[in-house]
Chain A
Amino acid sequence: MKNKYSIFSLIKNAFSGHENWQRAWRDPEPKKEYDAIIIGGGGHGLATAYYLAKKHKMTNIALVEKGWIGGGNTGRNTTIIRSNYLWDASAGLYDHALKIWEGLSQELNYNVMFSQRGVMNLAHNLQDVRDLKRRTHANRLNGIDAVWLNTEEVKKFCPIINTSPSIRYPVLGGTLQRRAGTARHDAVAWGYARGADEMGVDIIQNCEVKGIKRNGDTVEGIETTKGFIKTKKIGVVAAGHSSVIANMAGIRLPLESKPLQALVSEPVKPIIDTVVMSNAVHAYVSQSDKGELVIGAGTDSYVSYTQKGSHNIVEETLRAILELYPIFSRMKMLRQWGGIVDICPDASPIISKTQVKGLYINCGWGTGGFKATPGSGDLFAHTIANDEPHKLNAAFNLNRFVSGDLVDEHGAAAVAH
């Protein structure tokens, strides 16, 4: 049983120089067999393991991770959370996640620093205005909070934005989702890991999957750098490397993996207390609790697994940031990095069974997976445990690429995809 984190445990441990904190999760060796194995120790994978154990009482399960937990895209995103998607299926999926976010710190007894500071999406041309207004109405019909702001209201909500009509892409208005915001990405991975570990889930780090063993159309287990592990159910949550894992099981996915970049500035005093996104000029910015500006750039246009990204992409984003926020013109950028995102042709995720029995896949989150972490884990756990999708992820099946029933969020979400 894990000790509860509280103000009292904090004071108690302060007196002993913080040297006696209980270990947050074990470092077990893999058993010979599990009821289910999750491949990938990012937020989505850890959340899946957590909900499998918590809601579906599957505690004889393992999660294998080739590096360390939260070391992939979970630790590389810009931590933005929102649910203002256009289509009903997406709205249902992302708002399910947002509702879990709202109580997540309490549920996990782990402060994920969820901050509902609002997300504002800017419109820079007439088509943006039409699309964003349409999305606002669609959101409200789905019970998701959304309001349209005119240029003056945008300026009032975030005074540092340059709303001059003379800039190259003037701000014509924007939408605001007040329940949206940010969270601390590492804490999400650590909180779910701690919770899953407490219920008996084996989290096995530095364990790379080398092969998936099949007997006909059924899975039998995985070959790893720590030996063969037998199982009847495998959940693949490998983000940018989903195609690599799927290839081991002999199936193909409709994915392309590309580097997506982000960067942070030197830390400064509080200057922007919300998240502002702009799709037309591709710039989005928020400020971390440490004071760094967190800036998201775009993807490279070609497949690559390098986790770097091209310089011209950063240049384009900073150009747009500078025009929208002239106050940042003397900021120094501190760090830049890339993560490999797996993008579906319709820019919507796949949370689905596959043609191989016992093989489940959760992928295709593209450039926007972090916000969905709790919902994705919950729904994927449901799909694995029941061998059937939940009604909220039924539309996000792999078969939609055969049936043609796509969830086309590419232009519809009005954000960076």
Chain B
Amino acid sequence: MFIINCPYCGERDQTEFSCGGEAHIERPKQPTELSDDQWAEYLFMRKNIKGIQFERWNHIHGCRKWFNVVRDTSNDKIHAVYKMGERPPIK
């Protein structure tokens, strides 16, 4: 349980948000060209990092907008929040 700083609404409790999982997974540009292995990689395989993870969140009980969060999954500390389409502020 933690506080998330929504880029549109400000600080709110995590329960107002819904987690959309790992961020920056690019949708295949040529879906018809993909092999089964590449589909599996895109659809199912995840980094599932213990440490700094980039992920998508939606302020589902607020402005309902999507944005990105950089969070340390080993202690739930949030290092950065940035809007969709923006570059991650940290590596």
**Residues of chain A at the chain B interface (Cβ within 8 Å):** 241, 243-244, 247, 252-257, 301-306, 310-312, 342, 345, 401-404
B73, A252: Cβ atoms under 8 Å?
no
A402, B18: Cβ atoms under 8 Å?
no
Distance (Å) between the CB of B1 and the closest chain A CB?
4
Distance (Å) between the CB of A243 and the closest chain B CB?
4
Of the listed residues B18, B46, B53, the one surrounded by the most CB atoms of chain A closer than 10 A to its CB is B46
Distance (Å) between the CB of A373 and the closest chain B CB?
23
B36, A256: Cβ atoms under 8 Å?
no
Q: Number of contacts between A and B (CB, 8 Å)?
A: 67
1/0 contact string of B15-46 vs chain A (CB within 8 Å): 10011010000000000000011011101111
Distance (Å) between the CB of A261 and the closest chain B CB?
11
CA distance A342 to B46 in the complex (A): 12
Can you give 7 A-B contacts (C-beta < 8 A)?
A243-B46, A252-B46, A253-B45, A305-B74, A306-B74, A310-B1, A311-B1
1/0 contact string of B37-74 vs chain A (CB within 8 Å): 10111011111111001010000000000000001011
B36, A402: Cβ atoms under 8 Å?
yes
A256, B55: Cβ atoms under 8 Å?
no
Which of A302, A303, A401 is close to B44, meaning CB atoms less than 8 Å apart? A401
The answer to whether B5 has its CB under 8 Å from any CB of chain A is: no
CA distance A243 to B40 in the complex (A): 16
| Nearest chain A residue, comparing its CB with the CB of B1 | A310
CA distance A404 to B44 in the complex (A): 11
Contacts of B49 in A (CB 8 A): 243, 303
B45, A252: Cβ atoms under 8 Å?
yes
Contacts of A241 in B (CB 8 A): 50
CA distance A340 to B90 in the complex (A): 27
Which of A247, A252, A312 is close to B41, meaning CB atoms less than 8 Å apart? A252
CA distance A254 to B48 in the complex (A): 9
Distance (Å) between the CB of B35 and the closest chain A CB?
9
**Residues of chain B at the chain A interface (Cβ within 8 Å):** 1, 14-15, 18-19, 21, 36-37, 39-41, 43-50, 53, 55, 71, 73-76
CA distance A301 to B20 in the complex (A): 9
Contacts of B73 in A (CB 8 A): 257, 303-306
B1, A254: Cβ atoms under 8 Å?
no
Contacts of B76 in A (CB 8 A): 304, 306
CA distance A302 to B50 in the complex (A): 12
Contacts of A255 in B (CB 8 A): 46, 48
CA distance A402 to B45 in the complex (A): 10
CA distance A253 to B47 in the complex (A): 8
> Other than the known A305-B74, A402-B36, what 15 A-B pairs have Cβ atoms closer than 8 Å?
A241-B50, A243-B48, A253-B45, A255-B46, A257-B50, A257-B73, A302-B55, A303-B19, A303-B21, A304-B73, A306-B73, A312-B15, A342-B48, A402-B37, A402-B39
A310, B40: Cβ atoms under 8 Å?
no
Contacts of A252 in B (CB 8 A): 41, 45-47
Distance (Å) between the CB of A341 and the closest chain B CB?
12
B47, A243: Cβ atoms under 8 Å?
yes
Contacts A303-B55, A304-B73, A311-B1 given; does A253 touch B40 at CB 8 Å: no
A254, B44: Cβ atoms under 8 Å?
yes
CA distance A311 to B2 in the complex (A): 10
Contacts of B48 in A (CB 8 A): 243, 253, 255-257, 303, 342
Of the listed residues A247, A304, A311, A404, the one surrounded by the most CB atoms of chain B closer than 10 A to its CB is A304
Contacts of A301 in B (CB 8 A): 18-19
CA distance A404 to B49 in the complex (A): 25
Contacts of A247 in B (CB 8 A): 47
B46, A310: Cβ atoms under 8 Å?
no
B44, A345: Cβ atoms under 8 Å?
yes
| Nearest chain B residue, comparing its CB with the CB of A244 | B50
| Nearest chain B residue, comparing its CB with the CB of A315 | B15
CA distance A305 to B47 in the complex (A): 13
A303, B53: Cβ atoms under 8 Å?
yes
| Nearest chain B residue, comparing its CB with the CB of A310 | B1
Contacts of B55 in A (CB 8 A): 302-303
| Nearest chain B residue, comparing its CB with the CB of A406 | B44
Distance (Å) between the CB of B38 and the closest chain A CB?
9
Distance (Å) between the CB of A131 and the closest chain B CB?
25
Distance (Å) between the CB of A246 and the closest chain B CB?
9
| Nearest chain A residue, comparing its CB with the CB of B57 | A302
CA distance A247 to B46 in the complex (A): 11
CA distance A302 to B58 in the complex (A): 12
| Nearest chain B residue, comparing its CB with the CB of A312 | B15
Which of B15, B36, B50, B75 is close to A310, meaning CB atoms less than 8 Å apart? B15
